[in-house]
């Protein structure tokens, strides 16, 4: 029996969402062998069945995730000498191990592949880099008086969702216009329960005020139904109905009601005017177009629901420039719909080579028929061409921005004496009012500009800080930021970062403050043994806080200024202003939350019903806190035990 390590091929079978290993078989000692031989050894033991495979490098990192109708045939293609692109040849050379999962069908393999790619983010796969969820409009049907809200994230079966919309701005514009058109409430349930009189939205004719009974339950239910009909594509019928109601009210000389219908008609027209191109032959579809140039790929997607254009978004997936547009698009679609609902129709600019497979996989996932096609003529073809034009223009803008950004990053390297062009810049700022609701903000910039998905806020928690102690706040932010970074990702020299990735560790820290702030940050980093891992620069505002007269501080160097019209100076100002904006926004959000916080929310056992009864009886939470025990007992729904608990809480 040899003492040499033995590689084992792992075959697994998909059962629901779990993969159970059913058997293992030795493939011998593969140490030191080239990738082609290693892959060839695995091929000998693979079944002629559908499934997924993973390739690993010497460090155990996943290089590539693929799927196949026949694992044996697909993996065997990698074991052949020659005929590979440079990308595939490099991947084969780096492979030292493989793992496999068999599935019942090729559709299961496709869905599993998309899931694994999104989770593992392999080096050689096409990666969907901007994975931010899309916003929806939701109507809260489970409430007696449903509300209209913007929504992201998990879904509740008791609610009705409409979307997706391409951006939060598109949702906000639609919700604001629908407030005027349908008068459906947009306040939270807690605010709704606590109202004792109509709010300002009712006074400016943007809400029918069901909270205080200004509209009957039946009338409000009718308004909600009209809102649903509009979002379901019945807007033209609704316009005709409102026009008839306006005419009827005018005929009866009820001009006040006629004016209400007129305003609702106007608001409805405003919503429709913001939908952009509305094709006649496409009711529900996502339209994708791919464009490649300059070694980059752009995929543009337009969303059409209920015959209306609900916006578009451009993606720039990470993909080798040798990969054909159709292949990039096919890999992108699997990841795109991995955790999103599919429309009934998907229109593409390029054939992925697996249209039927994609359609079948999406249909199984969605429980309804999904059609995937590349239109060849008619309005749908014109629509795809329009999306393709937008993809080309978006990529041209991206390439121009990237070129400019590269020059600026090179300028930053020269201005601050960095060893290399920075890949990740982190900028920190604090915001508070006399020490209250203090928040630290961190923004990140990289080769592609601001990386907003890397932004972080830090609610200052230390109770030992003197209110307004900016140095203490900055010390806490640095400790929390970098202690967690070391804990989760190890030291910087342990990191592997691809050229087109922004990475985890910063190359440059910009601190909004002068020499004092710089010393605090440097000392904090030194305590953690990190002072030599990153360059730290303090930015002090000029006299009278004039832009262009900033002084820069680096430990061990004299302070200096940049030329007044230097593009690098403008770039640093933009970074600082963005950090300031983000910190102030986070502070205001925290302050607003504290302002609207009701003291009754902190009393155990007091829910919306009891809170409303107490506010009806005493008017304000402050009056409740001052109320005598006997007065609390006299409130409907408040037992003696509950009254005692409320009294004890405030006394």
pLDDT along the chain (651 residues), means of 10: 45 47 48 76 85 88 90 88 81 88 85 85 81 80 90 83 78 80 86 87 88 90 85 66 75 74 64 53 87 89 81 85 89 86 92 91 88 91 90 86 86 91 92 77 89 88 76 90 86 55 86 89 91 90 68 90 86 90 85 68 77 77 80 83 84 78
Residue whose tokens read 């590349």: 374
Residue 368 within any structural domain of the chain? yes
Tokens 């639609």 sit at which residue? 174
Between the alpha carbon of residue 1 and those of residues 30, 33, 318, the distances in Å are 16, 21, 46
- Does 570 lie in the same domain as 425? yes
Strands (E), 402-556: 425-433, 436-446, 449-450, 456-459, 508-512, 535-540, 551-554
Q: How many CB atoms lie within 10 A of CB 333?
A: 26
- Position 270 scores a pLDDT of 53
CATH number for position 613? 1.10.150.20
From 367, 397, 427, give the residue that closes a domain: 397
- DSSP track, 304-347: EETTEEEEEEEE--B--TTS-HHHHHHHHHHHHTSSS---SEEE
What whole-number distance in Å separates Cα of residue 4 and Cα of residue 357?
43
Per-residue pLDDT at 433: 74
If one counts the domains in the chain, the total is 5
Token pair listed for 326: 């159709």
User: Do 149 and 266 have their domain in common?
Assistant: yes
Enclosing H/E stretch for 63: strand 62-68
Whole-angstrom distance, CA of residue 32 vs CA of residue 223: 72
Dist CA 439 CA 435 (whole Å): 9
How many Å apart are CA 230 and CA 272, to the nearest integer?
Answer: 10
Residue where one domain finishes, among candidates 365, 397, 429: 397
- Tell me the sheet residues that pair with 535: 508
In the block, tokens 């543009």 appear at 300
CA-CA distances (angstroms) from residue 616 to 43, 257, 620, 642, 649?
A: 76, 31, 8, 17, 20
Residues with Cβ < 8 Å from 126, sequence gap 6 or more?
117, 317, 318, 319, 323, 327, 328, 331, 332
CB proximity list for 84: less than 8 A, separation 6 or greater: 78, 92
pLDDT confidence of residue 548 = 63
Do 99 and 56 form a contact (C-beta atoms < 8 A)? yes
The answer to whether position 411 is within a domain reads: no
For residue 478, what is the domain's CATH number? Answer: 3.30.420.340
What is the structure's pLDDT at 341? 84
Q: Does residue 221 lie in a domain region?
A: yes
How far apart are the C-alpha atoms of 482 and 631, rounded to whole Å? 53
Task: Report residue 556 CA to chain centroid gap.
Answer: 41
* DSSP 8-state class, residue 188: -
Contact 302, 309 (CB under 8 A): yes
Give residue 444's pLDDT: 93
Assess contact for 391 and 298: CB atoms under 8 A.
Answer: yes
DSSP 87-105: HHHHHHHH--EEEEEE-SS
Q: Domain range for residue 29?
A: 7-120
Same domain, 262 and 377: no
Which residues lie below 8 Å from residue 412, measured CB to CB, with a gap of 6+? 418, 421, 422, 425, 508, 568, 571, 572
- Distance, in Å, from the CA atom of 64 to the CA atom of 99, rounded to the nearest integer, reads 11
pLDDT score recorded for residue 424: 92
| Residue 331 in domain | yes
Cβ 230 vs Cβ 181: under 8 Å: yes
Q: Say how far apart CA 408 and CA 550 lie, in whole Å.
A: 18
Q: Check residue 147 and report its DSSP letter.
A: -
Among the three residues 230, 253, 273, which one is the final residue of a domain in this structure? 273
CB contact at 8 A, 31 and 17 = no
Task: Specify the DSSP class assigned to residue 620.
Answer: S
Find the radius of gyration of the CA atoms of the chain: 30
- Cβ neighbours of residue 50 closer than 8 Å, sequence gap 6 or more: 67, 68, 69, 70, 71, 102, 103, 104, 105, 106, 108, 109
Is there a single domain that holds both residue 180 and residue 292?
no
pLDDT tens digits, one per residue of 467-512: 778 888 899 999 999 999 888 877 776 555 444 467 888 999 999 8
Taking the CA atoms of 428, 432, 435 and 438 in sequence, report the sign of the dihedral they define: negative
**Segment holding 603, helix H or strand E:** none
477 in Cβ contact with 440 (< 8 Å): yes
Q: Is 131 part of any domain?
A: no
Q: Do residues 474 and 458 lie in contact, with contact meaning Cβ atoms separated by under 8 Å?
A: no
Using CA atoms, how far apart are residues 338 and 115, in angstroms rounded to an integer? Answer: 6
In angstroms, rounded to a whole number, what is the distance separating the alpha carbons of residues 439 and 455? 13
CA distance 474 to 557: 22
Cα 446 to Cα 423: distance, rounded to the nearest angstrom: 5
Taking the C-alpha atoms of residue 299 and residue 288, their distance in angstroms, rounded to an integer, is 7
Does 487 lie in the same domain as 443? yes
Q: Whose CA is closest to 501, among 315, 313, 317, 301?
A: 317
Q: What is the pLDDT of residue 300?
A: 93
Residue 499 and residue 630 in one domain: no
What pLDDT is attached to residue 23?
Answer: 41
345-348 and 371-373: which strand pairing?
A: parallel
CB burial of residue 499 (10 Å; 0-12, 13-18, 19+): exposed
Beta carbons within 8 Å of 634's beta carbon, 6+ residues apart: 617
Q: Is residue 99 in a domain?
A: yes
* One domain, residues 390 and 254: no
180 is written with which tokens? 């005027």
Question: Is the same domain home to 183 and 234?
Answer: yes
CA atoms of 86 and 107, how far apart (whole Å): 29
End-to-end CA distance of the chain: 79
Is the domain of 236 the same as that of 352? no
Within-domain flag for 431: yes
pLDDT value at position 500? 47
Q: Which residues share a beta bridge with 449?
A: 446
Residues 349 and 238 in one domain: no
The answer to the question of residue 404 being in a domain is: no
Separation CA 88–CA 69 (nearest Å) = 19
Whether the CB-CB separation of 423 and 497 falls below 8 Å is answered with: yes
208 and 266 within one domain: yes
Q: Which residues pair with 253 in a beta bridge?
A: none
Q: What's this model's pTM, rounded to 2 decimal places? A: 0.64
Query: Are 267 and 290 in a shared domain?
Result: no
Residue 201, φ and ψ in degrees, nearest 5: -60, -35
Task: Assign 256 to helix, strand or coil.
Answer: helix
CATH code (residue 94) = 3.40.1440.10
Q: Going along 551-642, which residue ranges are E strands? A: 551-554
């Amino acid at each position: 029996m040899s003492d040499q390590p033995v590689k084992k091929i792992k075959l697994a079978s998909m059962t629901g969402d779990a993969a159970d290993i059913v058997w293992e078989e030795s493939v011998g000692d593969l140490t030191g062998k080239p990738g082609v031989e290693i892959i060839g050894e695995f091929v000998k033991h693979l079944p002629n069945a559908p499934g997924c495979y993973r390739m690993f490098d010497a460090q155990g990192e996943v290089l590539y995730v693929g799927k196949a109708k026949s694992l044996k045939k697909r993996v065997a293609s990698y074991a052949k000498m020659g005929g590979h692109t440079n990308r595939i040849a490099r991947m084969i050379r780096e492979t030292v191990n493989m793992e496999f999962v068999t599935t019942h069908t090729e559709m299961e393999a496709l869905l599993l592949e998309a899931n694994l790619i999104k989770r593992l983010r392999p080096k050689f796969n096409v990666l969907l880099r901007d994975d931010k969820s899309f916003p929806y409009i939701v109507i809260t049907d489970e409430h007696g008086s449903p509300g209209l809200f913007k929504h992201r994230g998990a879904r509740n079966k008791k609610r009705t969702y409409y979307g997706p919309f391409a951006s939060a701005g598109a949702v906000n514009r639609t919700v604001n216009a629908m407030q005027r058109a349908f008068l459906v409430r947009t306040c939270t349930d807690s605010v709704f329960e606590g109202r004792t009189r109509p709010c300002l939205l009712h006074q400016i004719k943007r809400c029918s005020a069901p909270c205080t009974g200004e509209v009957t339950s039946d009338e409000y239910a009718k308004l909600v139904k009209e809102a649903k009909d509009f979002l379901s594509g019945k807007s033209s019928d609704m316009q005709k109905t409102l026009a008839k109601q306006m005419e009827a009210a005018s005929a009866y000389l009820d001009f006040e009601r006629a004016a209400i219908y007129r305003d609702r008609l106007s608001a409805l027209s405003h919503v429709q005017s913001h939908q952009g191109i509305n094709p006649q032959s496409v009711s529900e579809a996502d339209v994708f177009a791919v464009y490649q140039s300059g070694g980059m790929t752009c995929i543009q997607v337009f969303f059409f629901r209920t015959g209306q254009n609900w916006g578009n978004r451009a993606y720039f997936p990470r993909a080798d420039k040798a990969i054909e547009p159709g292949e990039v698009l096919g890999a992108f679609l699997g990841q795109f719909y991995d955790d999103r609902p599919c429309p009934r129709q998907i229109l593409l600019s390029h054939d992925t080579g697996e249209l039927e497979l994609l359609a079948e996989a999406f249909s199984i996932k969605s429980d309804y028929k999904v059609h995937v096609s590349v239109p060849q003529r008619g309005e749908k073809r014109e629509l795809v061409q329009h999306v393709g034009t937008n993809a080309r223009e978006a990529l041209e803008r991206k390439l121009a921005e990237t070129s400019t950004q590269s020059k600026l990053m090179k300028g930053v390297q020269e201005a601050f004496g960095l060893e290399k062009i920075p890949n990740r810049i982190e900028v920190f700022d604090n915001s508070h009012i006399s020490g209250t609701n203090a928040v630290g903000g961190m923004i990140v910039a990289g080769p592609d500009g601001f990386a907003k998905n890397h932004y972080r806020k830090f609610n200052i928690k230390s109770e030992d800080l003197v209110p307004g102690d900016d140095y203490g706040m900055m010390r806490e932010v640095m400790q929390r930021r970098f202690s967690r970074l070391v804990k989760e990702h190890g030291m910087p020299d342990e990191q592997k970062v691809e050229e087109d990735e922004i990475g985890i560790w910063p190359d440059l820290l910009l601190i909004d403050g002068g020499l004092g702030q710089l010393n605090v940050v440097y000392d904090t980093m030194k305590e953690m043994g990190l002072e030599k891992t990153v360059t730290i620069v303090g930015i002090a505002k000029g006299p009278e806080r004039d832009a262009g007269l900033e002084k820069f501080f680096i430990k061990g160097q004299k302070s200096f200024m940049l030329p007044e019209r230097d593009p690098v100076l403008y770039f640093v100002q933009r970074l600082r202003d963005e950090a300031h904006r983000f910190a102030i926004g986070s502070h205001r959000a925290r302050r607003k939350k504290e302002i609207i916080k009701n003291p009754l929310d902190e009393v155990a056992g007091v829910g919306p019903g009891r809170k409303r009864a107490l506010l009806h009886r005493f008017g304000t939470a402050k009056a409740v806190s001052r109320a005598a025990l006997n007065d609390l007992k006299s409130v409907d729904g408040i037992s003696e035990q509950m009254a005692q608990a409320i009294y004890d809480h405030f006394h």
